[in-house]
Every structure is written in structure tokens, then in C-alpha cells.
Amino acid sequence: MGYAEDKRVHDSIELVGMRAQATTVGLIQLSIELNRAGVLDQAAIDRIKESIAKEISLNRPKSVSAENFDEHLHRRLDRLFAGEDAVGEVTPETIGPQD
């Protein structure tokens, strides 16, 4: 999807109130379980993570460089989907440098 389509999906999700942490936790856990069961391969998990990253990047603070933000975001998503970090747990290390 391009930016316009990503923004349309973002706005649609916002309108129905699906930006809840519980939904995120469920999606990540479901993805982990489906991957462990062999239903989703790593390429599918990577596409899910990329979709999430695009959505989050639409709301990147303007004070943070896009490159720095994306790098830390992808690392965080990798840790979440690997089960290494708890969803919702935010520490300074989780967010990364605020350059």
C-alpha cells in the first residue's frame, strides 16, 4: 500500500475505535501462536510487523528523525513478536534516543 492507502486504513481504524492496547496484545499473541503452529511463516510475520510499523510511523513525533524512529520501532516490534518484551511495557530503552 502507498501512503494514501495507509492513511485511509489508519483513519478507518481510528473511526471504529480499534486502536486499543488489548487489540494489539491479542494480535501479537495470535501471530506468535500461529507462527509456532506453523500456520504463519516468518515472511507473514514480517509483513504483519511492517504493516504495524507503517501505521505507527504515520504518527511519528516531528521532533524525532524518521530514520531513528523507524530503526527503534522495528527493533521494538522484533522483540515484541519474539516474546522478549511485554506489550505495553515502555522504558527509556524501549523508546530509544529522542534526538
Sign of CA pseudo-dihedral 37, 40, 42, 48: negative
Q: Domain range holding 48?
A: 3-95
Model-level pTM?
0.67
Task: Give CA separation, 23 vs 18, 71, 88, 99, in Å.
Answer: 7, 24, 12, 30
Cα 48 to Cα 58: distance, rounded to the nearest angstrom: 16
Q: Of 26, 15, 95, which Cα lies nearest the Cα of 56?
A: 95
- Cα angle 40, 43, 49 (rounded to 5 degrees) comes to 90
Report the number of distinct structural domains present in the chain: 1
Q: What pLDDT score does 21 carry?
A: 67
pLDDT per residue as tens digits for the range 15-40: 655 556 667 878 888 999 999 999 99
Cα 89 to Cα 67: distance, rounded to the nearest angstrom: 23
**Cell numbers found for residue 73:** 520501532
Cα 55 to Cα 41: distance, rounded to the nearest angstrom: 22
Q: Which residues of the chain have pLDDT under 50?
A: none
